[in-house]
C-alpha cells in the first residue's frame, strides 16, 4: 500500500509541475492587467506542436526542441496581446473576455486547418530508463520533467525579483498608472509578461508531448482549464500560489484516479475550483481586495 501511495505521489508531482508551468502564465497576466488570458491553453498546445515539428523535421535534441518551441510561442503570445487584448484593455471586462475566447477559438482552429484534427504521435526524445528505489519504479523521464519544471520556475522567480524587467513588472502589477508616471513603458512590460508566460506554456507542452507521447489540437482546452483552476487555487496573481496550486491539483487528481475512480479525473479539478471559490475565493496565497464600483 505504501509503495502505491509513493508511486502516485511521484505521478502527481510530475503532472502537477506541468500544471504549475501553465498556471504561471495565467497568474502573471492577471497580476499585470487583471485579465484572464483564455487563449493561454491554446498557446500551450501550439508549443507542443512546434516541439513536434522540430523533433521530427530538424533535431530531436531536447534543448533545441524546447528552446525553439519557447521562442516561437513567446512571439505568438506577444501577437495575441497586441491583436486581441491591447485594443480592449480599457474596455469592459466582458469585451476582454469575448476577445480572449475569440483568440482561443482562432488559434485552435488554425492548427486544425494547418495540421488536421487528428492526434499526432510524439517522437521518443529520451530512452526509456527506469530506476527501482525501494520497490518503486521511477522513470528517468519523470525525474527530468520535475527538474526542468523546477528550473524554469526558479528562472522565472529570478527574473521577477532580480532583474530590471522583473522590478518593472512588479511595479506595473502594483499600480499601472503610477508605474507610467515613473517612466516605465507599461506596453513593453505587458508584452514581456505575455512572452514569458507563453514560453513557459510551450515548455509544458513539450514536456506533456514527451511524457504522454501524443498531442492533438484540442489538448489545450482541458489542460488550460485545469491550469486555470491551479492558478485560482493558489491565488490568481500570485506566482508562488500558481506553483503550489499546480502541485496540489496534480496530487489531488492522481490520488483521486488511483483510489476513487478514473472517471473522476476531471471532476476533481473542477470540484476543487468550486470548493475554493466558496471557502476562500482569494486562493491559498491570494489577498482579498476591496474594489469600488
List the domains of the chain with CATH numbers: 2-120+139-279 (1.10.3470)
Confidence of residue 130 (pLDDT cuts 50, 70, 90): confident
Neighbours of 169 (CB within 10 A): 24
- Report yes or no: 105 and 80 within 8 Å, Cβ to Cβ: no
Q: What percent of the chain has pLDDT over 70?
A: 97
Q: Is 66 exposed, middle or buried (0-12, 13-18, 19+ CB in 10 A)?
A: buried
Neighbours of 3 (CB within 10 A): 11
What's the CA gap between 81 and 202, in Å, rounded? 16
Check residue 292 and give its pLDDT. Answer: 44
What are the tens digits of pLDDT across the range 193-227? 999 999 999 999 999 999 988 999 989 988 889 99
Confidence of residue 289 (pLDDT cuts 50, 70, 90): low
- For the chain, the farthest-separated pair of C-alpha atoms sits apart, in whole angstroms, at 61
Check residue 89 and give its pLDDT. Answer: 78
pTM of the model: 0.90
Check residue 281 and give its pLDDT. Answer: 84
Check residue 293 and give its pLDDT. Answer: 41
Check residue 290 and give its pLDDT. Answer: 52
For residue 84, the 8-state DSSP code is I
For residue 81, the 8-state DSSP code is I
- Residue burial 184-195, b: 16+ Cβ < 10 Å; e: rest: bebeebbbbbbb
pLDDT of 286 above 80: no
Amino acid at each position: 500500500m505504501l509503495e502505491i501511495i509513493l508511486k502516485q505521489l511521484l505521478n502527481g508531482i510530475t503532472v502537477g509541475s506541468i500544471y504549475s508551468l501553465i498556471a504561471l502564465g495565467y497568474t502573471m497576466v492577471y497580476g499585470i492587467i487583471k485579465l484572464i488570458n483564455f487563449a493561454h491553453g491554446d498557446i500551450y498546445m501550439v508549443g507542443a506542436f512546434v516541439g513536434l515539428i522540430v523533433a521530427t523535421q530538424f533535431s530531436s535534441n531536447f534543448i533545441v526542441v524546447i528552446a525553439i518551441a519557447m521562442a516561437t510561442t513567446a512571439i505568438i503570445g506577444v501577437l495575441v496581446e497586441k491583436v486581441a487584448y491591447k485594443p480592449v484593455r480599457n474596455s469592459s471586462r466582458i469585451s476582454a473576455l469575448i476577445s480572449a475566447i475569440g483568440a482561443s477559438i482562432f488559434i485552435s482552429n488554425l492548427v486544425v486547418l494547418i495540421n488536421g484534427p487528428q492526434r499526432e504521435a510524439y517522437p521518443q526524445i529520451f530512452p526509456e530508463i527506469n530506476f527501482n528505489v525501494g520497490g518503486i519504479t521511477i522513470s528517468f523521464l519523470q525525474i527530468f520533467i520535475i527538474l526542468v519544471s523546477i528550473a524554469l520556475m526558479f528562472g522565472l522567480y529570478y527574473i521577477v525579483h532580480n532583474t530590471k524587467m522583473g522590478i518593472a513588472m512588479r511595479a506595473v502589477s502594483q499600480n499601472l498608472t503610477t508605474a507610467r508616471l515613473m517612466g516605465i513603458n507599461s506596453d513593453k512590460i505587458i508584452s514581456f509578461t505575455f512572452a514569458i508566460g507563453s514560453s513557459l506554456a510551450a515548455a509544458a507542452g513539450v514536456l506533456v508531448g514527451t511524457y504522454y507521447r501524443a498531442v492533438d489540437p484540442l489538448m489545450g482546452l482541458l489542460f488550460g482549464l485545469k491550469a486555470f483552476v491551479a492558478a485560482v487555487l493558489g491565488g490568481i496573481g500570485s506566482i508562488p500560489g500558481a506553483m503550489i496550486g499546480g502541485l496540489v491539483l496534480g496530487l489531488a487528481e492522481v490520488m483521486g484516479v488511483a483510489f476513487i475512480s478514473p472517471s473522476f479525473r476531471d471532476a476533481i479539478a473542477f470540484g476543487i475550483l468550486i470548493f475554493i471559490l466558496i471557502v476562500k475565493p482569494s486562493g491559498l496565497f491570494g489577498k482579498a481586495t476591496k474594489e469600488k464600483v
